Amino acid sequence: MKITFFSTQPYDKEFFNKHNGAFNFTFEFLEAALNEKTVALAKKSAAVCVFVNDKVNREVIECLAEMGVKIIALRCAGFNNVDLAAAKENNIKVCRVPAYSPEAVAEHAVAMILTLNRKTHKAYNRVREQNFSLNGLLGFDLHGKTVGVVGTGNIGRAFCKIMVGFGCKVLAFDLIANREVEALGVEYLPLIDVIAASDIISLHSPLNDQTHNMVNSETIAMMKTGAMLINTSRGGLVDTKAVIEGLKSGKLGYVGIDVYEQEEKLFFKDLSGGIIQDDVISRLISFPNVLITAHQGFFTNEALTQIAVVTLSNVDSILKNNTIAPANTVA
């Protein structure tokens, strides 16, 4: 059986080829993203394997169905880029990897907090230029600070554990309180209260109609002056222009993002030889108190191994039994 991979990077080839021995699928790896113009490349495939920035809308799904594609396999947890209703209407199964390594993303969020706070990235560059001054590198103790966690699924829960270990007071918001998180000493509060009380706010929510632009000019106005905002979840959770205004006014003291709403035009590409046309991210890059990484949170050996194994197991199970574990099923 053939699987066509879209938005392929070298590490995708490495890990999927490494773990294909138990399945013996035929792979076709494409650098191109899946969209209306590239969907024809999936011809003669039983499944397509896609990532966060592939566009799997109704038009794409109908084309896939016409070509006989039976499975859309997401090698990620989020599925906001897939038209699930269209997939169901066209009898195409959609599967995902719901928990490849929650610790990978949670630890990356903590790394961003520590980097922004203690300015280790700036210190590194200074010392390489033989500048051993500490001026401008002043940080603060994480111990005793209030950290707000928005979304306590697998990643948010792992993040809570780490921040409790730092000696932080951790507040959380989610539609359903998690007993394991509460047992850590984390207090659940309404979103507005979490935002208003936190020195650091970390987003770990899925992107949907209710969470789109949940961080906006109104919610930023509720934050403590000088608050730190971290987003390692989905770019669409944040109104980036409102964040820029918050940084300019000083309301936001630090911002760390591993995701960006328009990232499909930028991330996973080497654009060092050209001019970035996105004025919004160019403005963000210009702030000294902003840290941007290019959707790097998932990028660990353990996570990539789990992504490959679970994705291939999902496809194999659907083809053989027309079923997979409920947690891995999207539609």
Separation between Cα atoms, residue 312 and residue 271, nearest integer Å: 32
For helices 301-321 and 102-118, the axis angle rounded to 10 degrees is 150
Q: Give the N- to C-terminal CA distance of the chain in Å, as an integer.
A: 21
DSSP letter at 76 equals S
Distance CA 12, CA 3 (A): 13
> Measured between alpha carbons, how far is 200 from 183 in angstroms, rounded to an integer?
21
Tell me the backbone φ, ψ of residue 4, rounded to 5 degrees. -100, 125
d(Cα 230, Cα 225) in Å, to the nearest integer?
15
Both tokens of 246, joined, read 């918050």
Distance separating alpha carbons of residues 38 and 32, to the nearest angstrom = 7
In the residue annotation, 234 being an active-site residue is answered as yes
Question: Is 108 considered catalytic here?
Answer: no
Q: Is 263 designated active site?
A: yes
Which entry of 19, 204, 234, 261 is annotated as an active-site residue?
Answer: 234
Quote the Cα angle for 72-73-77, to 5°. Answer: 125
Catalytic residue (one of 75, 96, 261, 263): 263
Q: Are 60 and 31 in contact (CB under 8 A)?
A: no
CA distance 190 to 195: 9
Beta pairing, strands 200-203 & 227-231: parallel
The three-state secondary structure class of 213 is coil
Query: Which positions are annotated as active-site residues?
Result: 234, 263, 295
